[in-house]
Structure 1
């Protein structure tokens, strides 16, 4: 593992992508920053963080062994790696809010942004951006956010947490390389937030509807049981699960 530590950058994902254009990168090259000026999240959101208190980093991974149809498994195994890390540090009540927000006690503590590098219609690699709230104590205007320190009542060593995440990424990507797709999908689904509970969703027309999360499809779409006993599948941009 090769780690590049920065005091500040606009985005660790952007920094790592620029490096990948200049020269081939070692597998599991990591860029971490104390502060991001333009941190990005899913659906075009921004990632807010107090300088030096949290983990903001990106990992380059060779995913040339993954088929296009299985691209969601990159997000899936990353989520599982975060869960495994947080379990090691005794963080309780962990859940995955589809597709890859990590919750503890129903509060968001981690976000993931996957940006794939495509070369000649195959995966050349992927850049996995992770924002993990570690030691931040206050979150302005973010009532659903929390941190490891707030939940556990103690500070954490960010370097130790980072090392654990990368170790677990290696573990789960090896499982994926060994074709453990079914077992990985079942494990991911076991952590799904609000699985089999009545939940409220917002669609692209801003309309609200209720349903029960039943799991995910092989392509990573969310499977929702609707009132008429029909299971519908939704892509990321088609639906938002509300708290």
Structure 2
């Protein structure tokens, strides 16, 4: 496993993308940082963590996606790989909050940001950025966040958690390469946060409504059953779950 360890960097995703433009980078190369000063989440949200307490890393994944329309398959695979890895550390009540935040006991423990690049020869390179709260204890300003340490009441070996996630990712990528999509989608839907439960939402115009999550489409849109029994799909920028 090729791991590049940094003390600090603005963004592990940006570091890995810059590396890709200058040299050949081996598949599944990992860039980790003890302190990420400008980490990003979905839709440009800032990802802030205590230095040295958590895992902030990026992984290069290539030779997996064969067409741009299948991009969300990788999101599903990454989310499932993380939950499978965390189950080995006896983390229970894991859920995937659409599109790919990881929750435990209804609180966020990890976020994922996947950035895809289409090369001139049609090859798709994906930089998978993962932020995982491991040993941080203080979440006073983040009431909907927690860490593995808070859940288990003891600190964990960050390296062991990292290796477990990468091993799961590599194994699952091999399955995806032979077309075994259904396994990951089934696992993703089984762990989909608030699936089948009436809950409030807010659309991009600030309008609130009730709905029931039915699932996620192949291209990553959220399917919600509305009060009038109609089924509507939403993109990530079009709706927010209120919980």
* Deviation at residue 122 of structure 1 after TM alignment: 2.9
TM-score if structure 2 supplies the norm length?
A: 0.97
1:117 aligns with 2:113: no
**Distance between the aligned counterparts of 2:66 and 2:89, measured in 1?**
30
1:97 match = 97
Q: Within 5 Å, which residues of 2 pair with 1:60-209?
A: 60-120=60-120, 122-209=122-209
In structure 2, the residue corresponding to 1:236 is in which secondary structure?
coil
Do the aligned residues in 1 keep the contact of 2:72 with 2:219 (CA within 8 Å)? yes
Q: Which runs of 4+ in 1 moved over 6 A?
A: none
Do the aligned residues in 1 keep the contact of 2:66 with 2:124 (CA within 8 Å)? no
**Distance between the aligned counterparts of 1:222 and 1:51, measured in 2?**
34
2:39 match = 39
Do the aligned residues in 1 keep the contact of 2:133 with 2:146 (CA within 8 Å)? yes
Do the aligned residues in 1 keep the contact of 2:93 with 2:105 (CA within 8 Å)? yes
* Deviation at residue 121 of structure 1 after TM alignment: 7.1
In structure 2, the residue corresponding to 1:151 is in which secondary structure?
helix
In structure 2, the residue corresponding to 1:122 is in which secondary structure?
coil
Could you tell me which runs of 5 or more consecutive residues in structure 2 were left unpaired when the two chains were aligned. none
- The 3 A distance-change label for structure 1 pair 136 and 16 is same
Do the aligned residues in 1 keep the contact of 2:64 with 2:173 (CA within 8 Å)? no
**Distance between the aligned counterparts of 2:6 and 2:193, measured in 1?**
34
1:72-109, CA deviations, whole angstroms, 9 ceiling, x for partnerless residues? Answer: 01111000010001100000100000000000000000
Could you tell me which runs of 5 or more consecutive residues in structure 1 were left unpaired when the two chains were aligned. none
**Distance between the aligned counterparts of 2:104 and 2:41, measured in 1?**
18
1:12-62, CA deviations, whole angstroms, 9 ceiling, x for partnerless residues? Answer: 000000000001210000000000110110111111111101000000011
1:188-209, CA deviations, whole angstroms, 9 ceiling, x for partnerless residues? Answer: 0000000000011111101111
1:101-152, CA deviations, whole angstroms, 9 ceiling, x for partnerless residues? Answer: 0000000000000000111273431000000000000013100000000001
TM-score if structure 1 supplies the norm length?
A: 0.97
**Distance between the aligned counterparts of 2:13 and 2:37, measured in 1?**
12
